[in-house]
Amino acid sequence: MLRLHRRLLYSLGAATAVVVAGVPAHAQSAQNAPSAPSAPPDATVVAIDAGELVVDIGATKGVHEGEVLELWRPVKLRHPVTGRILVDRFRIGSLRLTQVRSALSLSVIEGALSRPPATGDVVVLPDRRLDGPGANALPEVNGAPIPVPAPSTSATAATAATAATGDTKPPPAPTAPTPVPAPVDKEAQALADLMTALTGSVPSQRALAYETFVRAHPRSRFARVLREEVEALRAPAPSEQGYKWSAPKLDRVRAGEPQRFAVELDPRFVGAVVHVRHKGAAGYRSLPMASIGPRYWTATLPGDAMADGGMEYFVEGVPKQSPAVAVIGSAAEPQQVAVETLPGSSRPPGTLAQVHTPDPVLLLVHEPDIFPRVPDRVALTLAGHTHGGQIRVPFIWPAFVPSKFGKRFAYGQVVEEGRHIIVSGGLGTSIIPARLGVPPEILRIELGT
């Protein structure tokens, strides 16, 4: 809608210039006359020299050194709708006369100005004095005196009658002339009314209204821009173009631990961004995702987003020549992820404290990250979670090991300081729905002395 307004304003401005240029000279002069002309200035700033302002007022007009005058900024502009020339002025500060000659005076700024001074600024006596030389001179505009009409015969007669009868009631004021209305661009006005009526309407309604206007005004200078607007309004939104995607369900993460995350997106996307935040935070942290092959994108979600209360995220795909498209969740409706406390400091001691016999202890856990904190009392730890790295290819593995220790506990039997852990490759997948070089497995473990 904003784009249409800018185009229409440009067209309207061009049309206004054509209308003004085409009217006769006398009509144009009437149209360009100011709507409410200000009183004529007493002087003008004719030069600025070394911080002093030279004004064309001197002793012949009754001013003297030290006198403070008002400084005004003249304004002249064309009305954007009617084309009428508007003339007015605004006070920007004061001047103090430092040297007064017969025709010119030097002055300095008195106090603060709202605008920097400039040649052409208007200088006005504060009391608009009526005494002194030049008091009876006619006011001037652009150097030409404004004639003051002589009183009419009827007015003179009325004055004489008042003097003869002693009636002090003033004669009726003359009737002001009826202003001539500016020409109205009916087509532009009709379109302006249409746009006002469409305020708050949905894009389909606006498109239909613009299309109807063009059919009714096929030769309108606004027809082309309206047709373009209709095409833009009816173009399918990027989210409606059938983009495909796939991602593993991310419904639980560990508190404070970075989480590797990957998605498979439509091949028409040339980039991807994941936006993540701690649940309830004011804004998202945007993380560009790295390409790990055709259609696959990955990023590491920061650990500080994994806090009690939950995590929220959404993923955008970036088409080649279109804005980013939310494909997994959105800023308004993000995906929800539960955050759980990392087992280790609380559960194992509480669990192992229940062991009161010298018998061997077999510890079953989900993820192997607990193993460095498992005491020597445990004979064997069994874990999963990593899926063996899931994809074991040179130069890529272990890119998909969901463990803060990387490939240290990715797969198989690991012995550290006399303690044993076996990590199974399991049956499922994590991060991306694919396995390569690590086939699904169910382990059969034989225990012995």
The CATH number that applies at residue 307 is 2.60.40.10
CA distance 38 to 76: 12
Domain end marker among 340, 364, 389? 340
Residue 16 is assigned to a structural domain of this protein: yes
Clarify whether residues 41 and 131 are in a common domain: yes
Residue 158 is assigned to a structural domain of this protein: no
Q: Beta strand pairing status for 52-55 and 105-110?
A: antiparallel
Clarify whether residues 336 and 260 are in a common domain: yes
Range(s) of the domain holding residue 264 = 245-340
Q: Which two tokens stand for residue 158?
A: 């009325």
Instruction: Please list the helix, strand and coil fractions of the chain in percent, rounded to the nearest 5, in that order.
Output: 25, 30, 50
Clarify whether residues 295 and 368 are in a common domain: no
Residue 417 is assigned to a structural domain of this protein: yes
Q: Which two tokens stand for residue 45?
A: 């700033």
Clarify whether residues 254 and 325 are in a common domain: yes
Residue 330 is assigned to a structural domain of this protein: yes
Residue 442 is assigned to a structural domain of this protein: no
User: Count of domains in the chain?
Assistant: 4
DSSP assignment of 232-294 equals HHHSPPGGGS---EE-----EEETT--EEEEEEE-TTEEEEEEEEEETT-SSPEEEEPEE-ST
Clarify whether residues 14 and 65 are in a common domain: no
Cα–Cα separations (whole angstroms), residue 261 to 105, 403, 408, 430: 78, 12, 20, 9
Clarify whether residues 124 and 217 are in a common domain: no
Clarify whether residues 196 and 125 are in a common domain: no
Residue 71 has a pLDDT of 92
Domain end marker among 200, 217, 235? 235
Angle (CA) 367 272 339, round 5°: 30
Clarify whether residues 77 and 127 are in a common domain: yes
Element (H, E) at 87: strand 85-100
Residue 4 has a pLDDT of 44
The verdict on pTM exceeding 0.85 is: no
Digitized pLDDT (tens) for each residue of the chain, 449 residues in all: 444 444 444 444 444 333 333 434 444 444 444 444 445 567 899 999 878 999 999 888 888 898 999 999 998 888 888 888 888 999 999 999 999 998 899 999 998 889 899 999 999 887 654 344 444 444 444 445 545 455 555 545 555 555 555 555 666 666 767 777 777 788 888 888 988 888 877 788 888 999 999 998 888 889 899 999 888 888 765 544 567 777 777 777 777 778 888 888 888 888 999 999 888 787 888 999 999 888 888 998 888 777 777 889 999 988 887 788 888 888 888 888 888 765 544 444 567 777 777 788 888 888 888 888 888 888 899 988 888 777 777 766 666 677 777 788 888 889 988 889 999 888 877 767 778 778 888 888 888 76
Clarify whether residues 41 and 12 are in a common domain: no
Residue 94 has a pLDDT of 92
Clarify whether residues 306 and 369 are in a common domain: no
Residue 268 is assigned to a structural domain of this protein: yes
Residue 254 is assigned to a structural domain of this protein: yes
Query: What's the DSSP call for residue 172?
Result: P
Residue 42 is assigned to a structural domain of this protein: yes
Clarify whether residues 38 and 132 are in a common domain: yes
Residue 54 has a pLDDT of 93
Clarify whether residues 44 and 114 are in a common domain: yes
CA distance 403 to 142: 84
Residue 385 has a pLDDT of 83
The CATH number that applies at residue 132 is 2.40.10.410
